[in-house]
Amino acid sequence: MAHSVEGRFPFLDSDVMEFCNGLPPLYKLAGLNEKFILKRASKGRVPESIIHRPKQPYRAPDAVSFAEKGAPAYVEEVLSEGALRDAGLFDVGAARGLYEKCRKRAGDAGNELVFSNTDNMGLVGLLSTQLLHREFIRGDGSAPGGKIEYKTLIDRVQFQQLQGTA
Amino acid sequence: MTQDEVRAKVHQFIRKNFLFDEKTPLADDQSLLGSGVVDSTGILELIAFLEETCRVKFEDSELVADNFDSIDKIAAFIMAKLSREKV
């Protein structure tokens, strides 16, 4: 390690992980108060402004993929004036304004396709909400490929543990 | 262009390009970065707009938050820059 940088992430420490796995869910998520026990433990050690800082949203994928040429047809569909009005969740003028701006920036030749983080997260948030509305409020939750099947995935380690307890 | 005209143009651009509506309050002396109206990439959009509309060219050393953090500051900075260039 003489010539490299080594990243050691305290939250990935196996003892910390094991301890956290044993905690009741309420300690980790108290209502909508996330990282509850971590915030309590950090009190007095970390500035209050950091403990109570609002979450920084990151929504994938990059909004460019929904605004550039060749974007999926459903984008225009769920962000149309009619669909926005039907859902009634967003200010229609503002939502259209954001979408038009992103489309224009993505379409400008020579533009480096940089959306500001605010616009980027805004467009993806808008789009996901409109899609949820279409699928589950107006629709019956069946995806284009058929009804969604919910599965429980168990990895090998868990599987062995389950077998051991059975 | 007078300082009031610059202020009005910048105000209108910020509303149209970042707020997208007529309702959200936007004061000429409010911190644009602090209130989250404009983020760091948004500042670049704002600078491109100013360079085009006011026909100015900013030096790298002028691109500091203090010159662009409110509509009032932007208008004052543009006027100072334009008057310097005339001399």
CB distance B6 to B54 below 8 Å: yes
The residue assigned the tokens 């970042």 is B18
Same domain? A33 vs A70 = no
Consecutive sets of 10 residues in chain B, 87 residues long: mean pLDDT of each? 94 96 94 92 92 92 91 95 80
Q: Is A138 exposed, middle or buried (CB count within 10 Å of its CB: 0-12, 13-18, 19+)?
A: exposed
- Which range of residues forms the domain containing residue A69? 64-144
CA A122, CA A107: separation in Å to the nearest integer?
Answer: 18
pLDDT tens by residue, A104-158: 988 875 556 678 989 999 999 999 999 999 988 888 777 665 566 667 766 776 6
- Which range of residues forms the domain containing residue B69? 3-86
- Residue B74 neighbours by CB under 8 Å, 6+ apart: B6, B7, B10, B46, B50, B67, B68
Q: Which of A93, A114, A117 sits opposite B20 (nearest CB)?
A: A93
Same domain? A81 vs A131 = yes
- Residue A107 neighbours by CB under 8 Å, 6+ apart: A68, A69
Name the B residues in 38-57 with CB < 8 Å from any A CB: 38-42, 44-45
Tokens at A125, concatenated: 């948030």
CA A132, CA A78: separation in Å to the nearest integer?
Answer: 10
- The number of folded domains in chain A is 2
- The number of folded domains in chain B is 1
ipTM score assigned to the predicted complex: 0.84
The answer to whether residue A156 is domain-embedded is: no
Same domain? A98 vs A34 = no
A&B contacts, CB < 8 Å: 33
User: What residue in A sits closest to B42 (Cα-Cα)?
Assistant: A116
Higher-pLDDT residue of B87, A161: A161
